[in-house]
Amino acid sequence: MPAYGYGATILPTIDTRLAIKLTEKGIANNPDAWRLYHYLGYIYWKLKDFDKAAAAYDKGSQIEGSASFMKMMAAAMRTQGGSRDTARAMYQQMLAEGTDQQTRSNAEFRLKEIDSLEERDAIRAALKAFNEKTGDCPQSLSQILPLLRSVRLPGGKDFRVDNANNLVDPSDAPYILDRQSCVVKLDPARTKMPLF
């Protein structure tokens, strides 16, 4: 099972066809392993094929002893497959249910990636509000910290600030303010978050 779990969470970034084939082989060899349907649903979700993802979750939910979230994920795939909330729920489940360290590490990394996307959206909104109020871009991101104190991030999380009063991403690298375009960016030299 760890090999199938690893293949289902890592292989889609390399070869989705092979990831599907490996997971389907796992299902054929372990027909009562509902987690494999979870992995297959995950692969199809990554491909943005929400109908196939929903079908995989549906099928897995019918296996005796399957987790109740399987039915919820099937419904989520049909209604909001591409949302960050769906992604967060999927990775949280993988983190909680992962049978091997690689799967849990990958899920933890992806959760941090989603957190960073949410943070940057909020920072962009604060930069826009600052610009509309003052007619200028702030000199540094620390100037918008008062605006960010009222922002509620998903999961009740707060923005992180380092000892130098810099807003930092989930990998503890300071966010960068591009003053010319007045946008927040990741620090390519220091962040561990994907830059795309």
Does a structural domain hold residue 195? no
**Same domain, yes or no: 12 and 88:** yes
One domain for residues 33 and 71: yes
Which is more confident, 196 or 164?
Answer: 164
* 94 and 168 part of one domain: no
The two structure tokens encoding residue 10: 């890592």
Angle between helices 84-97 and 101-134 (to 10 degrees): 150
Residue 163 inside a domain? The answer is yes
pLDDT greater than 80 at residue 11: yes
In a domain, 27, yes or no: yes
The pLDDT score that the predictor gives to residue 196 is: 64
Q: Looking at 70, 99, 128, which one is the last position of a domain?
A: 99
Q: Is residue 109 part of a domain?
A: no
Domain housing 128: 119-185
Confidence of residue 181 (pLDDT cuts 50, 70, 90): very high
74 lies in the same domain as 18: yes
Instruction: Confirm whether 41 is domain-assigned.
Output: yes
Q: What is the pLDDT of residue 153?
A: 93
Q: Do residues 19 and 64 both lie within one domain?
A: yes
Domain count, the chain: 2
The pLDDT of 111-121, averaged and rounded, is: 93
Same-domain check for residues 127 and 51? no
Same domain, 81 and 125: no
Give the residue-averaged pLDDT of 147-174.
Answer: 93
- pLDDT more than 70, % of the chain: 99
**Amino acid sitting at position 169:** D
Question: Would you say the pTM of this structure is higher than 0.85?
Answer: no
Average pLDDT, the chain: 90
The yes-or-no verdict on residue 195 having pLDDT over 80 is no
pLDDT of residue 167: 96
> Is the pLDDT at 110 greater than 70, yes or no?
yes
Question: How long, in residues, is the chain?
Answer: 196
**Residue 75: pLDDT band with limits 50, 70, 90:** confident
Residue 110 lies in a domain: no
User: In this predicted structure, what is the pLDDT of residue 100?
Assistant: 72
74 and 162 within one domain: no
> Residues 129, 88: one domain?
no
